[in-house]
Homo-oligomer: A and B are copies of this chain.
């Protein structure tokens, strides 16, 4: 018999981080694998979390002048061919529709029939189909800018999939904008990566680094790709959102042309930007612990759950009356501009099981209320990110609930920032770089963010491949002082963040 402290999730993060991740998803009821290869089922608890993310992001997009619209799921194959780098980037992972009906197969069952003249691709991203539409909408500079976002499903036939982080089908939003000048498009690209940073840090409690991708890591067809990069608890980087300045590349491929004020006909400047259900994977890996999911209060579907404790039907009536009134009092308090989301769990389930149900699902605040608490006008209070439960005066709880949630939100951010700070290091030599990224731990947790000057992406690539490290970004607010390349000793203008990554 093991004497290790028991945790709700087996294995623990230290024992096997990738498997811990899968077990947290299972225990928290967020999602599960589907019978369709690489596609997942997002279960109600996971979907409520996604709805909260969507609502917050959608409000931010609208506040920055964007409107939603909807474009077709299917893209004619010929559209994809128009932008050479783009098709290069996506051709290997496209689901292709070739037929439009099924007919009985003489050998039994069904077979595809009604072959299409031109195959259709399920959108892996919508630059090409949206661009073709914009080409019709844009005539004059008066029609610009176009500021549109789409909430949609997309499909990329990935070989190795992992729930939320990399699935064949995923849900996302994709913004697609058109501008009359390069400057305006560049500003849009910056504005939207800042929206993502705001969302990641202030809603997800996940600190991120904003920076530019190097040429090898850019979106296929983009001139510049900005991303937000976060550090997970295994010290790997996760790219959580991207914003692309597409220059005139797609405008030329799709013929998005406008008459300028001068009368000249010019190609437009476009951007695209997106975040996806991958954010849920990032959220899990940033905050969760060996007892399951930990949700930042601002996004939690339920922020407070109340568990009534009673021994018989008579007690039940009294306790339920009490917790209903407590719920009503809490539900008119506010946190971060919204009323508190409170639920009562009166299911007929054993107390321990019920408690762990909510621990594993990451509900920020758990209150247990039984006859003794009622007598004292108190509650038994537990904060998901703190080990001990405490008795708390009811009135004190009600008046402080907003503050308590704000404190927890901040504590989660601070802990994530601390982890990142402790595992970030400026590295100036190949030996130190190798030592930093050496994989000698069984748990797979090693390395972190290495800040290095480098002279040439081509020259460092063999070493990066060997160590399975990538250049995450050149931080926007990073070290602009020239230095020397950590690998070659050549002069190097900028410092980048290097890390193993999801």
Interface residues of A, Cβ cutoff 8 Å to B: 32, 34-36, 39-44, 46-48, 50-51, 67-81, 87, 91-103, 109-112, 114, 119-122, 129, 132-133, 148, 152-153, 155, 157, 169, 171
Chain B residues contacting A46 (CB-CB under 8 Å) are: 69
User: 11 more A-B contacts (CB under 8 A) besides A73-B155, A91-B110, A102-B121?
Assistant: A34-B129, A35-B76, A36-B74, A41-B133, A43-B69, A70-B171, A72-B169, A80-B110, A92-B102, A96-B102, A111-B119
B96 touches A112 (CB 8 A): yes
- Alpha-carbon gap, A114 to B120, bound state (A): 15
Contacts A35-B132, A77-B110, A81-B109; A67 near B93 (Cβ below 8 A): no
Chain B residues contacting A171 (CB-CB under 8 Å) are: 70
Contacts A74-B39, A96-B100, A101-B94; A87 near B68 (Cβ below 8 A): no
B157 touches A101 (CB 8 A): yes
- Alpha-carbon gap, A77 to B113, bound state (A): 13
B110 touches A41 (CB 8 A): no
A100 touches B157 (CB 8 A): yes
A67 touches B95 (CB 8 A): no
Which chain B residue has the least Cβ–Cβ distance from A147?
B44
Contacts A36-B75, A110-B87, A122-B122; A68 near B47 (Cβ below 8 A): yes
Which chain B residue has the least Cβ–Cβ distance from A117?
B37
B35 touches A51 (CB 8 A): no
B87 touches A133 (CB 8 A): no
- Alpha-carbon gap, A95 to B122, bound state (A): 11
B72 touches A39 (CB 8 A): yes
Contacts A44-B67, A67-B47, A68-B48; A102 near B80 (Cβ below 8 A): yes
Q: Which of B41, B50, B72, B155 contacts A34, CB < 8 Å?
A: B72
A70 touches B42 (CB 8 A): yes
- Nearest Cβ distance between residue A58 and chain B, in whole angstroms? 9
> 15 A–B contact pairs at CB < 8 A?
A32-B133, A36-B75, A41-B70, A41-B71, A70-B171, A73-B122, A73-B155, A80-B102, A80-B110, A95-B120, A96-B97, A96-B100, A98-B112, A114-B157, A122-B122
A51 touches B71 (CB 8 A): no
Contacts A43-B69, A68-B47; A77 near B94 (Cβ below 8 A): no
B110 touches A102 (CB 8 A): no
**Max chain B C-beta neighbours (<10 A), residue from A73, A97, A103:** A97
A129 touches B77 (CB 8 A): no
- Alpha-carbon gap, A183 to B155, bound state (A): 40
Contacts A44-B148, A91-B103, A98-B96; A34 near B110 (Cβ below 8 A): no
- Nearest Cβ distance between residue A279 and chain B, in whole angstroms? 15
- Nearest Cβ distance between residue A134 and chain B, in whole angstroms? 10
B96 touches A68 (CB 8 A): no
- Alpha-carbon gap, A260 to B87, bound state (A): 54
A169 touches B74 (CB 8 A): yes
Chain B residues contacting A71 (CB-CB under 8 Å) are: 34, 41
Q: Which of B43, B75, B76, B95 contacts A100, CB < 8 Å?
A: B95
- Nearest Cβ distance between residue A37 and chain B, in whole angstroms? 9
Q: Which of B50, B76, B153 contacts A73, CB < 8 Å?
A: B153
Chain B residues contacting A69 (CB-CB under 8 Å) are: 41-44, 46-47
- Alpha-carbon gap, A258 to B72, bound state (A): 40
- Nearest Cβ distance between residue A342 and chain B, in whole angstroms? 15
Chain B residues contacting A100 (CB-CB under 8 Å) are: 93-96, 157
B96 touches A67 (CB 8 A): no
Which chain B residue has the least Cβ–Cβ distance from A103?
B91
Chain B residues contacting A32 (CB-CB under 8 Å) are: 133
Q: Which 5 A-B pairs have the closest CB atoms?
A: A39-B72, A44-B67, A42-B70, A96-B99, A91-B102
Chain B residues contacting A50 (CB-CB under 8 Å) are: 70
B78 touches A109 (CB 8 A): yes
- Alpha-carbon gap, A92 to B70, bound state (A): 26
- Nearest Cβ distance between residue A287 and chain B, in whole angstroms? 23
